[in-house]
Amino acid sequence: MSAPVDLIRADLRDFAGYRSARSDRLVGDVWLNANEAAWPNAADDGGVRRYPDPQPETLRTRLAALYDCRPEQLLAGRGSDEAIDLLVRAFCTPGQGAIVITSPTFGMYAVSAKLHGARVVDVPLVDDGRAFRCDIDAVADAALASNATLVFLCSPGNPTGDIVPLDAVRTLAERLDGRAIVVVDEAYQEFASAPSAITLQAERSNIVVLRTLSKAHALAGVRLGVAIGDADLIAVLRRCQAPYPLPAPCVTLVERALADEPLATTRARVTASVRERERLAEALREAPGMRCVYPSSSNFVLARFDDAQSAFDALLAAGVVVRDVRAQPGLGDALRITVGRPDENDRVIAALVGAVA
Ligand SMILES: *Cc1c(COP(=O)(O)O)cnc(C)c1O
Q: Per-residue DSSP letters for 93-154?
A: -TTT-EEEE-SS--THHHHHHHHHT-EEEE-PPEE-SS-EE--HHHHHHHHHHHT-SEEEEE
Ligand 1 contact, 272 CB (< 6 A)? no
Same domain, 147 and 32: yes
Same domain, 321 and 225: no
- Of 145, 139, 195, the closest CA to residue 171 belongs to 139
Alpha-carbon gap, residue 91 to 99, rounded angstroms: 9
Alpha-carbon gap, residue 296 to 12, rounded angstroms: 40
Residue 25's pLDDT is 79
pLDDT at 334 exceeding the cut of 80:
yes
Ligand 1 contact, 221 CB (< 6 A)? no
Q: Give the ranges where the chain is alpha helix by DSSP (H).
A: 57-67, 79-91, 108-116, 136-146, 166-175, 231-240, 248-257, 260-285, 308-317, 342-355
pLDDT at 355 exceeding the cut of 60:
no
Residue 315 CA from chain centroid, whole number:
28
Q: What is the mean pLDDT of the chain?
A: 96
Same domain, 26 and 101: yes
Alpha-carbon gap, residue 103 to 119, rounded angstroms: 15
Domain end call among 196, 229, 260: 260
pLDDT at 290 exceeding the cut of 60:
yes
Residue 356's pLDDT is 42
Atom of ligand 1 nearest to the CA of 154: 13
Ligand 1 contact, 80 CB (< 6 A)? yes
User: Is 335 in contact with 308 (CB distance < 8 Å)?
Assistant: yes
Q: 45 CA distance to ligand 1 centroid (A)?
A: 30
Domain end call among 213, 239, 260: 260
Atom 7, ligand 1: residue with shortest CA distance: 79
Q: Report yes or no on 357 lying in a domain.
A: no
Task: Calculate ∠ Cα 10-21-249, nearest 5°.
Answer: 100
Averaged pLDDT for residues 244-248: 96
Alpha-carbon gap, residue 126 to 132, rounded angstroms: 5
Ligand 1 contact, 214 CB (< 6 A)? yes
pLDDT at 354 exceeding the cut of 70:
yes
Least trusted range by pLDDT, from 39-48, 244-253, 348-357 = 348-357
pLDDT at 107 exceeding the cut of 90:
yes
- Of 249, 199, 191, the closest CA to residue 217 belongs to 191
Same domain, 179 and 64: yes
Q: 90 CA distance to ligand 1 centroid (A)?
A: 19
Same domain, 47 and 71: yes
Ligand 1 contact, 185 CB (< 6 A)? yes
Averaged pLDDT for residues 337-354: 96
pLDDT at 308 exceeding the cut of 50:
yes
Q: Whole-prediction pTM value?
A: 0.96
Same domain, 203 and 282: no
Residue 357's pLDDT is 41
pLDDT band at 24 (very low <50, low <70, confident <90, very high): confident
Residue 276 CA from chain centroid, whole number:
22
Averaged pLDDT for residues 341-355: 92
Alpha-carbon gap, residue 206 to 2, rounded angstroms: 9
pLDDT digit string, tens, across residues 205-243: 999 999 999 999 999 999 999 999 999 999 999 999 999
User: How far is CA 41 from each of CA 50, 249, 251, rounded to the nearest angstrom?
Assistant: 11, 15, 19
Number of domains in the chain: 2
pLDDT at 294 exceeding the cut of 70:
yes
- Of 25, 82, 85, 75, the closest CA to residue 55 belongs to 75
Averaged pLDDT for residues 158-174: 98
Q: Report yes or no on 299 lying in a domain.
A: yes
pLDDT digit string, tens, across residues 85-105: 999 999 999 999 999 999 999
Residue 15's pLDDT is 85
pLDDT digit string, tens, across residues 170-185: 999 999 999 999 999 9
